[in-house]
Amino acid sequence: MKRQVKVSICMLAYNHEEYIKKALDSILMQKVNFEYEILIHDDASPDNTAKIIKEYELKYPQIIKPIYQSENQFSKGKMVTREFNYPRAKGKYIAFCECDDFWTDEYKLQKQVDFLENNKDIYSVAHKYMIIDKNNNIIDYSHRTEKLDRYFNKNDALKLKSGLFHPSTIMFRGSILQDKRFFEGIDKCCILGGHSYMIYYFAQLSDIYIMNDCMSAWRFVQDEGGSSYSSRANNHKITYQIKLLDMYYRYKLFFKYEYNFKPVVREMLLVTIKIIFRCREEGISKSKAIKDCLSLASFTDIILLPFCEIKRRIV
């Protein structure tokens, strides 16, 4: 009798021929007492990414379940995980591994599944991770100032923002995918991906337990013209900062009284103004960028930005 899939692992691939083998091998090395599936979506990569996935699919047909796109869906504004991976996930639990990241502990999945099995009132569990460069050199470790092996609440989420956990570290209950409000928030808020949204959504369902075990590596790469989030954000600082500000205003509207986002968005407004004044971006008018920035802000947000404070941030 075929055993039921317990964990669905979502992966997004695009131009990852240099890293994807390491990512897939790090999942396939997992030592577990349950079945898992790898839901990998190749977004019409022009390099050899799809060819490599096909090789693994032929070798592990019961585990690796790919989608090969002929046209890039991200460029069409599609939320790829939401539209192509979540609907086919069969697992009781959901995990992630981007194709330029990888897992470092062969018991990662087992440890997280065991935790959620033994803590029925908790919706998600994450862990410490290392930060590496494109050559696998360790740059840093996460949570340097935080005590781990404990629960993190909504206040911690506001304080740490996207630093609370990285997508390669999280595991959450698949029952969340039956929650219409979860998808409503993705549709309304996630204009730069769903990383921070997951943090705020999961933290309002229950506290998030973060293990001290370092079990994955996040590859931080900023290349000229690169396709990674870090590269795009670095190469288009003004555009991405305004989008980030927009996203946090959307969080404020969506989550309402669950979080006090006012101090966060005010600080982000100041940072955005600073970036607009300091940076250059081809095709971007600074006066229009300032107008776009302030159009997102409420009157209260603007009036609480003293001129001296703005001046301090931009000089």
Domain boundaries, the chain: 5-219, 236-314
241 token code pair: 């900062």
Q: Under a CB-based contact definition with an 8 Å cutoff, are residues 231 and 223 in contact? A: yes
Q: Under a CB-based contact definition with an 8 Å cutoff, are residues 276 and 267 in contact? A: no
pLDDT > 90 in the chain, percent: 67
Phi-psi region of 266 (alpha: psi -120 to 50; beta: other; left: phi over 0): alpha
Local confidence band at 291 (pLDDT 50, 70, 90 cut-offs)? confident
Res 245: pLDDT: 87
Per residue in 50-86, pLDDT (tens digit) is 999 999 999 999 999 999 999 999 989 889 999 999 9
Q: Among 223, 207, 214, 197, which residue's Cα sits nearest to residue 81?
A: 197
Res 177: pLDDT: 97
Per residue in 140-152, pLDDT (tens digit) is 999 999 999 999 9
Our separate counts of H helices and E strands in the chain read: 13, 10
**Domain 5-219, CATH 3.40.50.720 — does that match?**
no
Query: Does residue 39 register a pLDDT over 50?
Result: yes
299 token code pair: 């009157």
The rounded radius of gyration (Å) of the Cα atoms in the chain is 20
Lowest-confidence segment of 39-53, 111-125, 286-300 by average pLDDT = 286-300
Please count the other Cβ atoms lying within 10 Å of the Cβ belonging to residue 100. 26
The maximal CA–CA distance of the chain, rounded, in angstroms, is 70
Residues 6+ apart with CB under 8 A from 19: 99, 100, 102, 219
